Amino acid sequence: MHFLDQAKIFVRSGAGGGGAVSFRREKFIEYGGPDGGNGGKGGDIVFEAVPGLNTLIDFRYTQHFRAPRGQGGSGSNRTGAGGEDLVIKVPIGTQILSEDKEHVLADFTRAGQREVFLRGGDGGRGNASYKTSTNRAPRQHGTGWPGDEAWVWLRLKLLADAGLVGLPNAGKSTFINAVTNAQAKVGAYAFTTTRPQLGVVRHREREFVVADIPGLIEGAAEGAGIGDRFLGHIERCRVLLHLVDANDADVAESFRVVRDELAAYGAGLADKPVVVALNKIDTLDEELIAALSAELEAASDAQVIPLSGAAGIGVDWVLDRLLDAMSEESAPVAADDEGEDELEWSPV
């Protein structure tokens, strides 16, 4: 299934049915009178967030949604049937934006959330409702209120607890494959990941969701590379895991490039808690790993975890740090009583 996180659609609620003009014609009743019923209400446009969906691809092929109108009233004071509501099912994490993308009109963050987006028009009044003491045989009636319509954008922001960021080919896909069953594509070239990936991590008897997005390069905020359009998928993450390739010529500069792009994007990404890991250390000796870690710590002002997703080195340490960052407790998640700073790694 193709991944699509933005789609533009047209929605229109149903118009109300017209009221009826009718008069009683019954045997043995000397005076009849008006008995035209009201029209039925038009159908609403309703959005519902459902589990099991993680793409908006269906809206590429179906872009117009119109709710049915209400039925007209009839004699004997019979009200017309109301139009059925049109329920549009969207993935959890979907936002509805105005046509100019300036305003968020609705935000679906939990399964089963339903919102009436456009209300159907009310039905018109039948002539029976116009009867007065001075107007005993009215012939006027209402035609029904029109429905509302709008062009809107659907934007999907995946819901995850932790988000992976880094330059292209920093080992993000390898890491998510090592800790989840996401089966992300891995290759020895840049931009192997072309769409966001989600995976569920089970660690220390807890579960959390990790999101992997395409790599960022310098100038991504201006559209370089794949750009920053996928950064919206980590806006709701509670913590970021920043992976830096140990084979880069300047690990400190690699770290700064990504941090600058996060700051340029905004939405509070640069202010989120971050865990920094020096990845692909299985190709280096201990002395070089220590030197690169010290250099990266000076640039990030944070403890750096030596990591190799391919060899499994430091993976548990990273997961412990992520759990600790997401937890409200101050104590580390590690099973022993020692602080996480004293956890050791050893090359294989």
Confidence band of 327 (pLDDT split at 50, 70, 90): confident
| 61 φψ region: left (φ > 0), alpha (ψ -120 to 50), beta (else) | alpha
Q: Give the pLDDT mean for 232-244.
A: 90
Among 31-40, 88-97, 131-140, 184-193, the minimum mean pLDDT is found in 184-193
The fraction of the chain above a pLDDT of 90, given in percent, is: 61
Residue 291 has pLDDT above 50, yes or no: yes
CB 257 within 8 A of CB 289: no
Closest listed residue to residue 42, CA positions, set 130, 143, 167, 175: 143
Q: Max alpha carbon distance in the chain (Å)?
A: 109
**Better pLDDT: 89 or 268:** 89
| pLDDT value for 55 | 87
The fraction of the chain above a pLDDT of 70, given in percent, is: 88
| pLDDT value for 158 | 83
Q: Give the pLDDT mean for 57-85.
A: 95
| pLDDT value for 187 | 59
Residue 279 has pLDDT above 70, yes or no: yes
Question: What 8-state DSSP symbol labels residue 53?
Answer: -
Which domains are assigned to the chain?
Answer: 1-156 (2.70.210.12), 162-342 (3.40.50.300)
Feature table: binding site: 166-173, 193, 212-215, 279-282, 308-310
Question: Tokens 């390069």 — which residue?
Answer: 217
Q: Which of 68-77, 153-162, 191-200 has the highest mean pLDDT?
A: 68-77
Residue 230 has pLDDT above 80, yes or no: yes
| pLDDT value for 193 | 63
Q: Give the pLDDT mean for 84-89.
A: 97
What is this structure's pTM?
A: 0.75
Model confidence pLDDT, tens digit, residues 134-149: 998 999 999 999 999 9
Closest listed residue to residue 315, CA positions, set 134, 177, 128: 177
CA distances from 89 to 42, 53, 151, 326 (A): 20, 9, 17, 30
Feature table: binding site for GTP: 166-173, 212-215, 279-282, 308-310
Residue 111 has pLDDT above 50, yes or no: yes
Model confidence pLDDT, tens digit, residues 167-205: 988 888 889 988 988 766 665 555 566 678 888 899 988
Residue 335 has pLDDT above 90, yes or no: no
Feature table: binding site for Mg(2+): 173, 193
Q: Give the pLDDT mean for 249-261.
A: 93
